[in-house]
Amino acid sequence: MTIAQIISLLEATSLSDTPDLEHTIESVCGSDMMSDVLAFIKKDALLLTGLNNLQVIRTAEMLDIVCLVFVRGKQPQPEMLQMAENLGITVLTTEHTMFDACGILYHAGLRGGSRNDA
């Protein structure tokens, strides 16, 4: 599923100056705990989070996460957006809760990681 399709499904807004809308997302992780993200994220992943600090961008960089979606209408700070832009990470925001956003993406066919996938 492409980032453009995810924007449509989640009724999201891109906060990136140069979003990679055609990048294919293979899996999704929804968490506010970056330790969980470190344990379960996969390649070409999207991270749904309500955590709004630089640690999210740093974690995304370490794990090669290609797209961040801030839930509940969260708006990252300008320095977060600049860091993500410099790293080539597309940043989106949606008014959906994390639970609803995960459900929408799951229903559309995206899956997350699990302990059994490691």
> Domain containing 65 — which CATH number?
3.40.1390.20
Q: What is the pLDDT of residue 89?
A: 96
pLDDT digits 0-9 by tens, 5-44? 999 999 999 999 988 899 999 999 999 999 888 887 777 8
Q: For residues 106 and 116, give the distance between their C-alpha atoms in angstroms, rounded to a whole number.
A: 18
Whether 118 maps to a domain, the answer reads no
| pLDDT band, residue 113 (cuts 50/70/90) | low
Indicate the average pLDDT of the chain: 92
pLDDT digits 0-9 by tens, 49-60? 999 999 999 999
* Residue-range definition of the domain harbouring residue 89: 3-113
Global pTM exceeds 0.95 = no
Whether 25 maps to a domain, the answer reads yes
Domain tally, the chain: 1
Whether 47 maps to a domain, the answer reads yes
Whether 17 maps to a domain, the answer reads yes
Q: How many CB atoms lie within 10 A of CB 43?
A: 10
Whether 29 maps to a domain, the answer reads yes
